[in-house]
């Protein structure tokens, strides 16, 4: 099968490469070696392929979307699952993403850096990985040119799709909106299909959790990340821990609300462990990279704000439509 052929290529060791990739100021994966040269294939994808072929993970797994619950059907119609091309979406899932235009998906750079576009497929239009939705193939990967694999600054990439997504997309937070919509103390939502237990299986059903945006000063405290968080990053969680995104959720959206719509404020990047006290989840700051994304996608991408109403306003919007 196609994905088995791809697996042979993806799992072939690079000369001098460490089996696990060095990523970020903290290891993105529990148990991952934080040393040695990177391989040519992202650990996110190698982990998925290893699971497909051997039924084992490259890192010690931990619960996903910590403290979360299954998301209501259709709650986040812009959610995207990145998978190994040719594999069943559930077994091949390796990262999350969000449709920000009909033919563009945003994700984390560390999910796709070094990968070829023809090795990736994107599932959209469903909350369940094993049924429904539409598969899209990727024709182009655009990793931010300033992406730093040591600090994880500019940990963002855009995937151009081979055909247009017909569902709703989510708008990108602009610098002008950031102070009003994404100030410290704001509650935000994170969603993903990451692993839910140590069995090594991803969640078949999309899960979500509410987290609180945290100031950079707090996130850079000695008990947290000791000064390694830059203005290009946003932190979210709770000091007591217990609610967080984690492995398999990388690249997924951190969402805030503006009136009756959701806005993309962050992209899941890294964290020390999952849901640990004072070890907040770290996200790429979308307000900082919004102009870059707009330039990459160009005017053909169309308007960004094709959003679904938030839950609290959905009934009002439905009532207006009925009238």
Backbone angles phi, psi at 225, to 5 degrees: -115, 15
Give the pLDDT confidence score for residue 103 in this predicted structure: 96
- State pLDDT tens for residues 38-81: 456 666 677 667 666 666 656 543 334 555 678 888 899 999 99
Dist CA 60 CA 132 (whole Å): 30
What is the number of alpha carbons within 13 Å of residue 58 lying toward its C-beta?
23
pLDDT > 50? residue 279: yes
- CATH classification for the domain delimited by 2-59+77-169+296-301, as one of 3.90.420.10, 2.40.10.10, 3.20.20.10, 3.10.580.10: 2.40.10.10
Which two tokens mark 146?
A: 């300033």
Q: Is the pLDDT of residue 210 over 90?
A: no
Q: In this predicted structure, what is the pLDDT of residue 223?
A: 80
What digits encode the pLDDT tens for the residues 169-204?
A: 999 999 999 999 999 999 999 998 876 543 445 678
Chain centroid to CA 183: how far? 21
* Residue pLDDT, tens place only, 109-164: 999 998 999 999 999 999 999 888 999 999 999 999 999 988 899 999 999 999 99
Domain edges within the chain = 2-59+77-169+296-301, 171-287
CA angle 279-290-254, nearest 5°? 35
Q: What's the token pair of residue 259? A: 């009136």
> 242 CB contacts (<8 Å, ≥6 apart)?
66, 67, 275
- Topology annotation, domain 171-287: Thrombin, subunit H (2.40.10)
Rounded distance between C-alpha atoms, residue 316 and residue 189, angstroms: 21
Which pLDDT does position 201 carry in this prediction?
58
Q: According to the model, what pLDDT value does residue 67 have? A: 56
Give the span between the Cα atoms of 245 and 190, in whole angstroms. Answer: 7
The CA distance from 96 to 104, in Å, is 13
Q: Fold identical between 2-59+77-169+296-301 and 171-287?
A: yes
Catalytic residues: 110, 155, 250
Q: Kindly tell me if the per-residue pLDDT of 265 is higher than 60.
A: yes
DSSP code for 119: G
Model confidence at 293: pLDDT above 70: yes
Q: What angle do CA 196, 279, 68 make, to 5 degrees?
A: 30
Residue 38's pLDDT is what? 45
């Amino acid at each position: 099968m196609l994905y088995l052929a791809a697996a042979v290529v993806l799992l072939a060791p690079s000369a001098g490469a460490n089996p696990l990739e060095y990523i970020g100021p903290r290891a993105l994966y529990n148990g991952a070696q934080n040393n040695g040269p990177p391989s040519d294939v992202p650990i996110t994808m190698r982990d998925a392929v290893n699971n497909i072929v051997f039924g084992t993970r490259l890192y010690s797994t931990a619960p996903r979307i910590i403290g979360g619950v299954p998301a209501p059907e259709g709650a986040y119609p812009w959610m995207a699952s990145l998978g190994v091309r040719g594999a069943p979406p559930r077994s091949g899932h390796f990262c999350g993403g969000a449709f920000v235009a009909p033919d563009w998906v945003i994700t984390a750079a560390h999910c796709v850096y070094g990968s070829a576009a023809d090795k990736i497929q994107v599932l959209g239009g469903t909350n369940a990985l094993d049924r429904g939705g539409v598969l899209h193939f990727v024709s182009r990967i655009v990793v931010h040119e300033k992406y730093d694999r040591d600090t994880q600054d500019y940990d963002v990439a855009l995937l151009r799709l081979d055909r247009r997504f017909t569902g709703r997309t989510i708008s990108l937070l602009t610098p002008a909106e950031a102070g009003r919509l994404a100030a410290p103390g704001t509650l935000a939502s994170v969603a993903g299909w990451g692993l839910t237990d140590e069995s090594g299986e991803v969640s078949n059903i999309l899960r979500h959790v509410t987290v609180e945006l945290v100031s950079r000063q707090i996130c850079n405290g000695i008990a947290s990340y000791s000064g390694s968080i830059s203005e290009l990053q946003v932190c979210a969680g709770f000091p007591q821990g217990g609610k967080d995104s984690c492995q398999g959720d990388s690249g997924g959206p951190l969402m805030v609300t503006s009136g009756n719509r959701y806005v993309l404020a962050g992209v899941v990047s890294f964290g020390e462990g999952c849901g640990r006290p004072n070890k907040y989840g770290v996200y790429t700051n979308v307000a900082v990279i919004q102009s870059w994304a707009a330039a990459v996608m160009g005017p053909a991408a169309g308007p960004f704000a094709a959003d679904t109403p938030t839950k609290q306003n959905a009934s009002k919007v439905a009532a207006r439509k009925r009238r």
